[in-house]
Amino acid sequence: MKKLTSAFLLSMTLAAPVSAVTIEGVDMPNQMKADGSELVLNGAGVRSKWFIDLYVGGLYVSHVGSDPKAIVAADEPQAIRLHIISGMITSDKMTSATLEGFDASTGGNTAPIQAEIDEFMGVFKDEIKEGDVFDLVYLPGEGVKVSKNGNARDTISGIDFKKALFGIWLSDEPAQEDLKAAMLGKD
Separation of alpha carbons 155 and 18, rounded Å: 27
The arithmetic mean of pLDDT across residues 23-29, rounded, is 93
3-state SS, residue 63: coil
48 CB-contact burial (10 Å; exposed 0-12 / middle 13-18 / buried 19+): middle
CB 75 within 8 A of CB 57: no
Reported as a pLDDT band with limits 50, 70 and 90, residue 12 is very low
Task: Write the DSSP assignment of 25-51 as a string of letters.
Answer: TEEEESEEEETTEEEEEEEEEEEEETT
The one-letter code for the residue type at 139 is: L
List pLDDT tens digits, range 36-70. Answer: 889 999 999 999 988 889 999 999 999 999 999 99
| Per-residue pLDDT, 51 | 82
| Per-residue pLDDT, 44 | 96
List pLDDT tens digits, range 70-99. Answer: 999 999 999 999 999 999 899 999 999 999
Give the number of other CB atoms < 10 A from CB of residue 114. 11
Helix residue ranges per DSSP H, the chain: 2-14, 68-73, 91-105, 114-121, 159-170, 177-183
| Per-residue pLDDT, 36 | 85
Of 13-17, 22-26, 148-152, which range is least confident?
13-17
Separation of alpha carbons 108 and 141, rounded Å: 26
CB 82 within 8 A of CB 131: no
Closest CA to 168 of 84, 110, 92: 110
| Per-residue pLDDT, 19 | 55
| Per-residue pLDDT, 49 | 85
| Per-residue pLDDT, 1 | 43
Reported as a pLDDT band with limits 50, 70 and 90, residue 148 is very high
